[in-house]
């Protein structure tokens, strides 16, 4: 999302600004303004861009704290870093919601809102945000992958499977990202599996084998072509 953030930042500063009070020039009136003009007003799109970028900055800080938590040497420090990360994600949620309020078509903010909700464990609202993004931009692959990870958090296995198969057909990179997420899920759900979890486990192993065979065939075909 870095490229998008830069684009929206450019929009914020590059778009023409209107004079306040609907005037086309300096303020006029009975009082002496001393040659001062009214403060320029940002358009809703510019306000949306500013809020979106603020959310992205909070997301980056949250990820920095998560990295520190991953390398923490004791549980107390790890919890401290994760709490800081959660605070940043909460701030990001406020920024993204504000951006969407200014621009209801900003699907990127909806997608990032879903991500932030998912990172704080609010899977239901996360899915709603991704659904909203996909209503504005159908088949947006990143939203499909992110939403599938939220489905995974709720053990909605059929929805995860459908998402993966859709991504296999449309975006191999996002399909691979979802496969990594599913494999990570497997690592933490090896014991006391329900029948549904066991079936999902077997499905992941099967699909990974298919993906590896497909990649191998593609690599061989490229070599033969060269």
Domain with CATH 1.25.40.10 in the chain: 42-138
Answer CATH for 42-138 from 3.40.220.10, 2.60.40.1180, 3.40.430.10, 1.25.40.10: 1.25.40.10
All residues at 6 or more sequence positions from 136 whose CB lies less than 8 Å from its CB, including other chains = 105, 107, 110
- Show pLDDT as tens, one digit a residue, over the chain (226 residues): 444 443 444 444 333 323 233 333 333 344 445 555 666 799 999 999 999 999 999 999 999 999 999 999 999 999 999 999 999 999 999 999 999 999 999 999 999 999 999 999 999 999 999 999 999 999 999 999 999 999 999 999 999 999 999 999 999 999 999 999 999 998 888 888 899 999 999 999 999 998 887 765 555 554 556 5
Contact status, residue 146 vs residue 114, Cβ threshold 8 Å: yes
Q: Which residues, in sequence order, are CB contacts of 106 under 8 Å at separation 6+?
A: 48, 52, 99, 100
């Amino acid at each position: 999302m870095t490229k998008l953030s830069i684009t929206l930042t450019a929009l914020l500063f590059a778009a023409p600004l209107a004079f306040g009070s609907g005037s086309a020039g300096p303020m006029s009136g009975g009082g002496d303004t001393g040659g001062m003009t009214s403060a320029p007003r940002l358009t809703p799109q510019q306000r949306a861009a500013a809020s979106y970028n603020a959310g992205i900055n909070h997301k980056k800080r949250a990820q920095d704290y998560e990295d520190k938590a991953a390398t923490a040497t004791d549980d107390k420090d790890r919890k401290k870093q994760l709490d800081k990360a959660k605070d940043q994600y909460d701030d990001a949620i406020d920024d993204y919601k504000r951006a969407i309020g200014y621009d209801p078509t900003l699907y990127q903010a909806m997608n990032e809102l879903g991500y932030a909700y998912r990172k704080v464990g609010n899977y239901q609202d996360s899915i709603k945000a991704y659904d909203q993004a996909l209503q504005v931009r159908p088949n947006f692959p990143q939203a499909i992958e992110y939403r599938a990870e939220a489905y995974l958090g709720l053990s909605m296995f059929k929805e995860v499977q459908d998402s993966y198969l859709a991504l296999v057909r449309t975006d191999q990179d996002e399909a691979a990202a979802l496969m990594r997420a599913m494999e990570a899920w497997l690592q933490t759900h090896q014991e006391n599996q329900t029948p549904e979890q066991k079936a999902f486990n077997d499905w992941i192993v099967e699909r990974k084998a298919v993906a590896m065979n497909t990649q191998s065939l593609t690599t061989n075909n490229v070599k033969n072509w060269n």
